[in-house]
Amino acid sequence: MGNPEYLEINDCLLQELERRGQRKQLPPRGEISLASNDYLHLSRHPRLIERAAEELQRSGTGATGSRLLSGNHPLNRDLEIAIASFKNGPSALVFTTGYQANVSAIGALSGLVELLYSDALNHASLIDGIRLSRLETEIFPHNDIDWIKQDLERRLQKQGKLPRFMVVTESLFSMEGDLSPLPDFLQLVRDWNGLLLVDEAHATGTLGPRGRGGFEHAGQTWEPERVILTGTFSKALGGLGGFVVCHPDYRELLLSRGRGFVYSTALPPSVLASNLEAVRLLEEDSEIVKGLRDRVTKVRDRLNAGDSPSPILPIRGELGKMKSFREHLLESALWAPLVYPPTVPEGSERIRISVTLGWEENWIDRITEAFHKERDLKAG
Q: What is the DSSP string of 31-68?
A: SEES----TT-GGG-HHHHHHHHHHHHHH-S---S-TT
- pLDDT reported for residue 252: 98
- pLDDT reported for residue 24: 84
Co-location of 175 and 317 in the same domain: no
Share of the chain above pLDDT 90, in %: 81
Number of domains in the chain: 2
pLDDT single digits (tens) 90-137: 999 999 999 999 999 999 999 999 999 999 999 999 999 999 999 999
Instruction: For residue 316, give the H/E element and its range.
Output: strand 312-316
Mean pLDDT of 6-17: 94
Looking at residue 335, which CATH number applies to its domain? Answer: 3.90.1150.10
Co-location of 254 and 372 in the same domain: no
Contact between 258 and 108 under an 8 Å Cβ cutoff? The reply is: yes
Confidence category of residue 2, pLDDT binned at 50, 70, 90: low
Co-location of 276 and 300 in the same domain: no
Co-location of 225 and 295 in the same domain: no
User: Within a domain: residue 71?
Assistant: yes
Domain that holds residue 303: 25-44+286-379
3-state secondary structure at position 197: strand
Contact between 54 and 60 under an 8 Å Cβ cutoff? The reply is: no
Looking at residue 123, which CATH number applies to its domain? Answer: 3.40.640.10
Spatial CA neighbour of 275 closest among 231, 319, 333: 231
Co-location of 239 and 316 in the same domain: no
Contact between 233 and 239 under an 8 Å Cβ cutoff? The reply is: yes
User: Within a domain: residue 153?
Assistant: yes
Co-location of 237 and 345 in the same domain: no
Pairing of strands 195-199, 165-170: parallel
CA–CA separation, 40 and 187 (whole Å): 31
- pLDDT reported for residue 290: 97
Co-location of 358 and 269 in the same domain: no
- pLDDT reported for residue 294: 97
Spatial CA neighbour of 77 closest among 276, 241, 263: 276
CA–CA separation, 16 and 324 (whole Å): 25
Contact between 166 and 147 under an 8 Å Cβ cutoff? The reply is: no
Domain final position from 255, 284, 313 = 284
Burial class of residue 298 in the structure, from the number of CB atoms within 10 Å of its CB (0-12 exposed, 13-18 middle, 19+ buried): middle
